[in-house]
Amino acid sequence: MTNRVLFRAATLAERRDFYENDFSIDRVKEWFSGRSLPQLCAVDAGSETGIIVDQKYKGKMLYFPFSQLKRKLRKYVPEDVYYDRSIYANPGKVLNNLKSRNYISQELAFDVDADNILCRHPDRSLGRERCISRAYAWSVKMKRALEREFTDIRMVYSGRGFHLHVLDERAFYLTVAQREALNKKYSSYPIDPWVSRGYIRLIRMPYSLHGVVSRIAMPVDDAKGFDREATIPLFLRS
């Protein structure tokens, strides 16, 4: 079934149905178990597809506290949902000055993006499936390499690739220079260095919908393999 399901933008009605009936904040909280919940979240209401509840939100990243997540999902019916990887002494001040980088620590994460892998195919959907397969293989290989120096690494399918979240406490306190050194060390992998360097502090929320391709950002247990069908939302299964 998976290879027959096209990657396409979700409609506003489909996004609303997903967040009202399929999305579970409890599952998100469970994914964060053993660590603090994010202080801040952000959504893009529909800048890439133009499918949006109100054009005044186009081109804007809309920030809010994690405690408001459910209410903001209903309001914006977003194309994309993110959380801020940084931990702040005063997150309220950050909401008033989004350019602030005055954080205490920041989660280390690597973005293995299928867009960084050449996978040509005359059928665009099959080509994307092939790129995702290769991105998964790269992600598993990189996770094994990272496990030589870190212990708590979680993989999440992003919709276009895979994110490797390094949750060891010491990883949160790595300097920019140390993160740069890791980028250099793992430069043979198809990663986005801006994410792991820390300049991009947002990362896709697990279990949220990637509205551009209609796929769920699903945590992956690489010991069991990547279950593609689990990433397909109910509105594409009929």
- Give the position of tokens 């980088």: 101
Task: Show the domain range for 117.
Answer: 2-236
Higher per-residue confidence, 209 vs 102? 209
Helices (H), 147-192: 169-172, 176-185
| pLDDT reported for residue 124 | 62
Q: Nearest CA to 104 among 94, 119, 95, 116?
A: 94
Mean residue pLDDT of the chain comes to: 93
Tokens linked to 40: 């801040």
Q: Residues 57-81, buried b or exposed e (16+ Cβ, 10 A)?
A: beeeeebbebeebeebbebbbbbbb
pLDDT band of 19, cuts 50, 70, 90: very high
Q: What is the CATH number of the domain that holds 88?
A: 3.90.920.10
Q: Nearest CA to 188 among 233, 159, 145?
A: 145
- 140 φ, ψ to 5°? -65, -45
pTM value surpassing 0.85: yes
Number of domains into which the chain is organized? 1
